[in-house]
Structure 1
């Protein structure tokens, strides 16, 4: 523990002194120079395909929606048929299937003539690192966050209440994408000599496509994904999270009159210390934190929402009416029907990350004999994140009249709108929301640090030096994110996150038959289990 403290002191104290001297003008210069250097990439990733003369839809969004729709059909609506099975898996109803799995264990990572990985079998058998529930909460902690709080307000402000309907639809379709990528994450994972699991798109792209005779393509796609994942972990999974948490914290504590005004570096330093303490311990430590923090933060937020809905219960039917009518309205702002549809699609996709591939990294560390079991657990993610939490947020915003349709707002303003909606019911609820947002940001950061580290280790090796180099850089970016307003950096990092979908979706499409095989194997095991217990 002393060594960890020394690392933090040696790294952070000089940086704190530097951060205090930073001026707004320097932030602006850095922001402008970075935007000039990277705008070509950001513009390319978020380029829009024109739908009408006034509105377009980002091509990345089209890829995500088409892919999710394809997998929904290919797996015969697994998002519905597998829902209750997924709940049973999380509850532990099928834990008996994970016992009595005896195999020989190799001394190093290798592949047999049957393209199986003995070390992977060891993890699937008795070792592993986390439970189904812990894997789910670790992944949820990276997706449930500001997208649910601020993102919903943004979507409704631009597209009106009807955007909620399309958010729900995308959340439903995204369940299928999550199932596919997380099944593959477990199937093709690896484990080192210490029993530490390494998994995610990097591995199923390289190993899975090698099985299909596409070894060169697989390696290229895996490297591209890893590079983008590292960039995304520093930006969208780190700087953005801590910056928005600080902005709301500063607003609730008095804005410019707050004793914390202009002291983002201090907020960032505190967050960096807590993040560092957790991520030093790896996925087991992360999972132990997230399986406590995630249920608490979701419970806090949902409880606040339920109280507001309870106070205004008579307005709920009318709110659902506005959502339904607005979803199919050809009138209004932002291009009418198309604009409403796009806003709903965009915010849902950006919120649950289905098809991006990031969640499969966390799910890969689960203890299981059956890859499809974790795929089923993973499909609960978009349901919780988008169908439940986003819808509840939308209802509160509609009922409390916080939405001014046709007004484009920032994430900071979106979080404030939700805060005001909660305050309309009980005056001190903004403080509750602030606590929830900080917890959301904290859990998102620790989970994305794991994603980034997995990608980093794929590119630079699994040594302790490589591990601590990445984690040190990550913690420094926590302070930078809170202290500076580098929007161009965050925009670039977000573009990197969504560029992850390109190699990932190619892999999901080519490897879908492998997922179907795993699903059949798991279904057969469940059927045999039921027969033996009757």
Structure 2
């Protein structure tokens, strides 16, 4: 590992010098502008807006996401609600004994492990059924979604749509639970497991194997390659550079802004972050999961506890806040804020909401130790609930109660929106902005390490699973942490966000086609639970 870290230092020194120079001569801005000119057509295509009446435009990518989530909700008979407590019990380990019951293993192998229709590697590689626990898989995926967007994105959303945007945010989270269930069940069902037990999973694999089982071999390969390209681009941009950039801006602000000792030294912050990220990601998903299963619960508990303190410190305003939410939810402003402010700002700002339907989380969930694919799908549906229904709603209530929902804030960028949320907390808990700064850095760090895993899975699918390919990707990822902290990133982030949204296109096609396979898996698992309890 020391040799690998030394390689990282050697590799990034030229980029540090570049970052220092660009802050003086503005080359990074020129490069960013040139990049924007070259890739603008792709960004415009993905984020094309369809006009809906006066002053209301909706990004077309919302339609497959919303329609898909609604379809899965009813196709699986409201599994996002009826399966909620089962999901909690799975995370608690109440059904772990099912994994060792031979009668159920035989039933499953006969029903689904046939030829290339499924995942023969899980059976062929004796003793290897995954790498991480249900809880670790959940926290690894949550670490990529619970992030800066929960703080900044919500502030922008309620500024655009008013308090009523919160209602549509909750609806989006509840519907997204069904999409997450489908994609993460498929992630486990069609994963590959190497001889050493390393898991390779995600949309690349269920698009290839799953669509082949439907006689759509060529379509499956095409969609898988497209997804792999998009997830690599998204990992370098929204899952990396954006996180480092926004975290540095908040740290610089809290330490004095223009007078901060870190002013103009984003490269130094990026170097420290890149080393920490490198130490974790070199160890693979097991190391990532060991970090996230400690950081994520800690972050969520601290953030929610502070939110509840602010809310109950103003208990006399709680009723009024909910009245604002429900009254505004069905007003023109509220609907526009929900559709555009919440959903678009959420997905576009690198994991503001839950990424349900995008397919990224299925990569982390596919590494779980289980022989029942639907068990992890059930666990995964908790993710949008925690990320959007709980954490984002807490942020919205704090902003509403402290009076920080104003039209003047609608034009805020993410860095300014984070400061708005920080100020909202600070108006009740004077010292909390410092805690929030630490939380934001941890949010950014956990998001980066999880997205590094997502991007690497796409990289391995395209370029092979050799150690050379692995370390090439991971070194590049660490370099981009430094560049992200030091450079101007407007067009780069716009492009990477477009790639994250673009992941939805091939993924959603596969999810709809393979939904019957997921229903089979759900029936098998629920029968196993019923037999256990009888």
Shorter-normalised TM-score: what interval?
A: over 0.9
What is the CA-CA distance between 1:125 and the residue it aligns to?
Answer: 6.2
Whether 1:88 aligns to 2:89 is: yes
Q: Equivalent residue of 1:49, what SS? A: strand
Alignment of 1:139-288 (within 5 A): 139-288=141-290
Alignment of 1:85-484 (within 5 A): 85-101=86-102, 112-113=114-115, 115-121=117-123, 127-330=129-332, 337-350=335-348, 351-405=353-407, 407-484=410-487
- State the partner residue of 1:39: 40
Contact persistence 2:119–2:189 (CA under 8 A): no
**Aligned equivalents of 1:79 and 1:337: distance in 2?**
23
- State the partner residue of 1:5: 5
Alignment CA distance shift 1:340-1:223 (3 Å): closer
What is the CA-CA distance between 1:100 and the residue it aligns to?
Answer: 4.0
**Aligned equivalents of 2:309 and 2:315: distance in 1?**
9
**Aligned equivalents of 1:59 and 1:329: distance in 2?**
22
**TM-score for both structures, normalised by structure 1:** 0.95
CA offsets 1:250-298 (integer angstroms, 9 cap, x no match)? 1111110111111100000000000000000000000000000111111
**Aligned equivalents of 1:45 and 1:250: distance in 2?**
33
What is the CA-CA distance between 1:349 and the residue it aligns to?
Answer: 4.6
Whether 1:499 aligns to 2:505 is: no
Contact persistence 2:269–2:485 (CA under 8 A): yes
Contact persistence 2:118–2:209 (CA under 8 A): no
CA offsets 1:472-511 (integer angstroms, 9 cap, x no match)? 0000000000001211001000000000000000000000
**Aligned equivalents of 2:306 and 2:147: distance in 1?**
15
**Aligned equivalents of 1:205 and 1:124: distance in 2?**
25
CA offsets 1:424-482 (integer angstroms, 9 cap, x no match)? 01211101100110000000000000000000000000000000000000000000000
**Aligned equivalents of 1:189 and 1:340: distance in 2?**
35
Can you give the 5+ residue segments of structure 1 that lack an aligned partner in the other structure?
105-110
What is the CA-CA distance between 1:114 and the residue it aligns to?
Answer: 6.8
What is the CA-CA distance between 1:5 and the residue it aligns to?
Answer: 2.9
Contact persistence 2:141–2:361 (CA under 8 A): yes
- State the partner residue of 1:108: none
- State the partner residue of 1:516: 519
CA offsets 1:154-182 (integer angstroms, 9 cap, x no match)? 00111111000000000000000000000
**TM-score for both structures, normalised by structure 2:** 0.95
- RMSD of equivalent CA atoms: 1.7
- State the partner residue of 2:31: 30
Q: Number of residues paired by the alignment?
A: 521
- State the partner residue of 2:19: 19
Alignment CA distance shift 1:424-1:339 (3 Å): closer
What is the CA-CA distance between 1:306 and the residue it aligns to?
Answer: 1.7
Bigger shift: residues 183-192 or 400-409: 400-409
What is the CA-CA distance between 1:343 and the residue it aligns to?
Answer: 2.0
**Aligned equivalents of 1:178 and 1:448: distance in 2?**
17
What is the CA-CA distance between 1:62 and the residue it aligns to?
Answer: 1.2
**Aligned equivalents of 1:286 and 1:182: distance in 2?**
18
What is the CA-CA distance between 1:347 and the residue it aligns to?
Answer: 3.9
Contact persistence 1:125–1:367 (CA under 8 A): no
**Aligned equivalents of 1:8 and 1:113: distance in 2?**
42
Contact persistence 2:117–2:212 (CA under 8 A): no
What is the CA-CA distance between 1:232 and the residue it aligns to?
Answer: 0.2
Contact persistence 1:99–1:125 (CA under 8 A): no
Alignment CA distance shift 1:123-1:310 (3 Å): farther
- State the partner residue of 1:107: none
- State the partner residue of 2:59: 58
What is the CA-CA distance between 1:362 and the residue it aligns to?
Answer: 0.2
Alignment CA distance shift 1:413-1:445 (3 Å): same
Q: Equivalent residue of 1:22, what SS? A: helix
